[in-house]
Structure 1
Amino acid sequence: MTSLADLQNAYNTLLAGHAPVATSGQANDAFEVYTLSLVLRAAREESASICFESSRGIPNPSPILFRTSPGRIFSTAHDYSHAVIEFPDGLAFEAHIGVYVEGLAGVLHECDVLVVDAPEAQFCRRNRVHPKKSNTVLTAECKFYAGKLGIDLGRQFLGVTTDLGTEGRFFLSNADGKSVDRVLAHHKRQRFFGLTPLDGDAEGQVVALFRSTFRNLRAKRR
């Protein structure tokens, strides 16, 4: 079974060259940071450059501080960090952990990991509003469990993606979840179970999914 130390070692390796990462030390929080590191790896493999910035606009903050509970992208209560992803064609995005997104029905949904258009993120901070679904290009629901996943988690994800859309929306877990997998497969939702830094093939498959999302996004915006 993947341990907290395994997750911390993985994201520290994948975030090499950046400031140290600060987390609460809880395994689920570390799994979210680990997933973020895979998103950034995918972007980098698609030729993006990556840097970090604080919510107050400070470049290369040290340490990098991530949320450990749901928050607002415009909150200044703590100087949380996000990654800035810039592609050679001029497209720019921000990658965050634990930020609310507004769906079509006006309902707020917590996204464990999300990538949003950089201009949208800047607009939200200036005007103290939540990112809109249409400008949120990738989200990941991250579940770190010691046992099997319950079917209710699958139903919750279906509800969220009904409001936020299905494109670029992922359900990721380190655990097995046959019933969750079955229901998400039936509804054609993107998911991956058994994600762990101890399995390079699993990592590679998830990175490939993220790369495909970035590649399709860039093709649509040419």
Structure 2
Amino acid sequence: MSTVDELIGEIESLLAAGAVSYDSSSQPCDVYEGFIFSLIVATASRHGATVTYKNVHGAPTAHLVFRTGPGHLHSTIQPFTHAVIEFDGAPALEVHLGVYVTGSSRVLHECDILVLPAEEADLSREQGVAPRGSQAVLIVECKYYVSNFGIGLARNFEGLRADIRPQSELFVSNTRSSSIARYLDARNRECELDVVPNSPQAGYLQAAIRKAFKSYLSKHAPSTVI
């Protein structure tokens, strides 16, 4: 089981961006989401993308402030940070923590981590509405538990995915559950369990993230190889 300090150390190493808003008193589940965010950013960078960090006003920042509760992407109350990912020849993407999206039912859903086109994020900010879940390139459900967790989490994720209808989705946890693995595998959902710093599973997760980026690039910049 990774400690909060270990997770923070890995986040700082992966992002290489300056100070982060987590500290030793932060909730492990919040910091774990930041760790998975960092793996997404590091995967993009490793495969040739340019990565920058911006606050809610669109200004570049080296002090990364992460959400610790759900909120609206377009909110400017706090200077929360998002990452901007730019692959050669493709429209920019943004990576956000803990923001709402609108599902096909017009119901709001929280995404632990959301990767979406910057154009859709701009529309959200301009109109003051939640982005459309159907435009998501990737959503990630992050679960940090110190003991076993139940099948209900996988069922909730399946319902979330069905209403959001993203291009790609991932269920990620720091621990394992054979029932959740079987449930999601039977539905062809991407699932990586036991994902902690420096684990083989963290590498497997990055391979799944790369797959999502490849799918995006195949539609928008087919000549870009990652």
Pairwise TM-score range, normalised by the shorter structure: over 0.9
- For the pair 1:22 / 2:17, whether they are aligned, the reply is no
- For the pair 1:50 / 2:51, whether they are aligned, the reply is yes
Q: Aligned equivalents of 2:187 and 2:4: distance in 1?
A: 32
Q: Aligned equivalents of 2:215 and 2:11: distance in 1?
A: 26
Q: Aligned equivalents of 1:19 and 1:93: distance in 2?
A: 21
RMSD of equivalent CA atoms:
1.2
Deviations 1:64-100 (A, max 9, x none): 1111000000111111110011111132011000000
User: Structure 2 counterpart of 1:111, which letter?
Assistant: C
Q: 1:190 to 1:166 in 2, by over 3 A?
A: farther
Partner of 1:217: 216
Partner of 1:161: 161
Helix, strand or coil at the partner of 2:115? strand
- Count of residue pairs the alignment pairs up: 219
Percent sequence identity over matched residues?
36
Native 8 Å contact 2:8 2:35 kept in 1: yes
Any stretches of 5+ residues in structure 2 without a counterpart? 222-226
TM-score normalised to structure 2 length: 0.93
User: Structure 1 counterpart of 2:213, which letter?
Assistant: F
User: Structure 2 counterpart of 1:53, which letter?
Assistant: K
Partner of 1:203: 202
Deviations 1:29-52 (A, max 9, x none): 110000001101111122110000
> Residues 9-158 of structure 1 correspond to what in structure 2 (within 5 A)?
9-16=9-16, 18-23=17-22, 25-60=26-61, 62-158=62-158
Any stretches of 5+ residues in structure 1 without a counterpart? none
Partner of 1:6: 6
Native 8 Å contact 1:45 1:211 kept in 2: no
User: Structure 2 counterpart of 1:32, which letter?
Assistant: E
Q: Aligned equivalents of 2:45 and 2:59: distance in 1?
A: 22
Native 8 Å contact 2:116 2:138 kept in 1: yes
Residue 171 of structure 1 and its aligned partner are, at CA, apart by 0.4
Deviations 1:152-194 (A, max 9, x none): 1011011101111264111000011111111111111111000
Q: Aligned equivalents of 1:123 and 1:32: distance in 2?
A: 25
Helix, strand or coil at the partner of 2:195? coil
Q: Which has the higher strand share?
A: 1
Deviations 1:194-216 (A, max 9, x none): 000041x2111111100111011
Q: Aligned equivalents of 1:118 and 1:211: distance in 2?
A: 18
Q: Aligned equivalents of 1:50 and 1:167: distance in 2?
A: 21
